[in-house]
A and B are shown apart, each in its own frame.
Chain A
Amino acid sequence: MAFDNTAITREIDSSSTLETELSSTLEIAIPDATVLGPGGGSARLLVINTGTVRFGAEGDNDGLEDPTNENSQDAEIDGVTIRRTVMINLRMMQYVRDGRNLTSSGTFVGATSVAGLGNVGLRSETDLLGHTNFGVAVDECKTELTAPTPREKNLWFFLDAFAEPGHGQGSQINRLGYQSWALVRSKDK
């Protein structure tokens, strides 16, 4: 099942680039937009989020870790924990501007989401059968206005990431790129 692995929570935060870097959010008022597919729904506010999400580095996967990443085993995606669900808080709650609070007065209509490999370390090891295996993956992603337990209700970007194990640490994911285009219906837009 998607998004039910051990979670890593990250924030976009202008005071630190340790969890995300070069993150940017644009709020675009548009004449109209409709979600394609089941459910439909229309809105006149487009929220674009892009950036790079960074993970942990424990110092135990020599050469493959980004040593400038956060020193945290819990936030690692390596061949030990293998599969993780990453939740990026896009912090719409904080964008209270012009009297508008999207999360209390707005309705999330739908979003397109994409995530791709950013910085990956591939551990090349030969197993007992003589096979050399390595791999990393971003399996799926989505954006939702939700309250993942026990976190606050907000606009969250979810993704599942995977690093193939080895005899030791296996492969490692240090960074991923993400983008979401979310349609939000609010009182004034």
Chain B
Amino acid sequence: MAHKDYTDFLLDLDVDQPTEVAFPEGLDVGIVSGVQAFPAPVGTVTAGNRLLIFTGTTIFDQPGHHGDLERGIVRVRLRHTLPKAVTFLSQATVAALASIHSTDEEDSVFAADGAETVTDPTVGGLLAANNLPAGELYVIIDAAVLGDETHLQRIAYQANVLVLDTTPDFESFLVAHAGLFDFGSFIGILHNEGWDYRLTLTGPAPGNVGDVVTFTLASDNSSAIDIGLDSIVQIPAGATSGTFRARSVGGLPGAVANITATALFGRKTSKTASIKINIAG
């Protein structure tokens, strides 16, 4: 059985330590949907919407000894916390020997027997927690080494993790003439004329009652729109959109400003709308 008989050593490695994991990398990829096909899921199947990919090479020095094969665990802390809105669904992980060494003529065994990715660092109580928190991702590698003067020194891994992220995305940023509700991605206004803007999410803003989510607004042309007091805006938790009256007004006639709004939560998506300052008459 995986993990169970690997009790001779437990090596905790952290991707934040360059001496423990070489070139740790991670990707967070949006997908249409994803499910576990094998092992066959039991009960209701929940489809995921993001694929997390982690790669790296663990660095350690586990010596072998004459006589008995020593089996143990290499546990890699990926330093990826799953927020409340993100559910771990499934994983597919692979590990392979990367660096092995011996200075003795004795026969030797080196092993990366198998790997999986989990959110419970104890894997259901099989391993000591060693103060590692639950709710993060860990790669668990079954390893082994045998032989005098042998050293198991590196194991490479790739973890593919399927999650369901219910954090709403930033769907649109639209602008309108002040009070007219003619929202679009482009408007023309006059010098000193006001404007409104609307931020829309794909679902309710995350958080508890009283919480807010924050966006920043930036203008690429301060002579047309000096975003100034509008540079930070907030939407209360639970709301799916917010409509605001800009405190900045049209500036230099003839100029165009691209206003970019960026969500400071979730995937930090940005959206852009444009405002042209028309010449009166």
Chain A contacts to B: CB under 8 angstroms: 12, 14, 17, 21-31, 44, 47-52, 63-64, 66, 91, 95, 97, 114-124, 126, 132, 174-179, 189
Report how far A132 CA is from B107 CA in the complex, Å: 11
- Fill in one digit per residue for B98-123: 1 if any A CB lies within 8 Å of its CB, else 0: 10001011111111111110000000
| Interface SS of chain A | strand
Q: Using CB atoms and an 8 Å cutoff, list the residues of chain B in contact with chain A.
A: 1-2, 31-40, 51, 90-98, 102, 104-116, 144, 146, 156, 158, 160, 162
* A121 in contact with B109 (CB, 8 Å): yes
Q: Can you spell out 30 A-B residue pairs with CB atoms less than 8 angstroms apart?
A: A17-B1, A17-B2, A22-B93, A22-B116, A25-B36, A25-B92, A26-B91, A26-B160, A27-B35, A28-B34, A28-B162, A30-B31, A31-B32, A44-B32, A50-B92, A50-B93, A50-B94, A116-B94, A116-B97, A118-B96, A119-B113, A121-B146, A122-B107, A124-B105, A124-B106, A124-B107, A175-B113, A177-B96, A179-B158, A189-B32
Chain A residues whose C-beta falls within 8 Å of the C-beta of B36 in the assembled complex: 24-27
Query: Does A116 contact B96, Cβ atoms closer than 8 Å?
Result: yes
Given A97-B37, A179-B158, is A30 in contact with B92 using a C-beta cutoff of 8 Å? no
C-alpha spacing A160/B102, complex, angstroms: 25
Nearest A residue (CB) for B37: A25
Q: Which of A22, A63, A178 has the most CB of B within 10 A?
A: A22
Contact among B39, B94, B106, B112 for A178, CB-based, below 8 A: B94
9 nearest A-B residue pairs (beta carbon): A116-B96, A119-B111, A25-B38, A24-B92, A29-B32, A22-B114, A28-B34, A50-B92, A25-B37
Other 7 A-B pairs with CB < 8 A, given A24-B39, A30-B31, A49-B92: A22-B116, A25-B38, A26-B34, A26-B90, A28-B162, A116-B112, A121-B107
Contact yes or no, A177 B111, CB < 8 A: no
Beyond A25-B92, A26-B34, whether A116 also contacts B156 by CB under 8 A is yes
Contact indicator B109/A63 (Cβ below 8 Å)? yes
In contact, A50 and B160 (Cβ under 8 angstroms):
yes
Q: How far is the CA of A68 from the CA of B32 in the complex (A)?
A: 41
**Shortest Cβ gap from B222 to chain A (Å):** 37
- A166 (CB) vs chain B CBs: closest residue: B107
The distance in angstroms between the C-alpha atoms of A44 and B102, with both chains bound, is: 46
Indicate if the CB atoms of A177 and B95 lie closer than 8 Å.
yes
A25 to B116, CA, bound (A): 12
Contacting residues, chain A, for B91 (C-beta < 8 A)? 24, 26
* Complex Cα gap A117–B95 (Å): 9
Complex interface: chain A residues within 8 A of B105 (CB): 124, 126, 132
Shortest A132–chain B CB gap in Å is: 6
B114 touches A21 (CB 8 A): yes
Give the nearest-CB partner of B157 in chain A.
Answer: A177
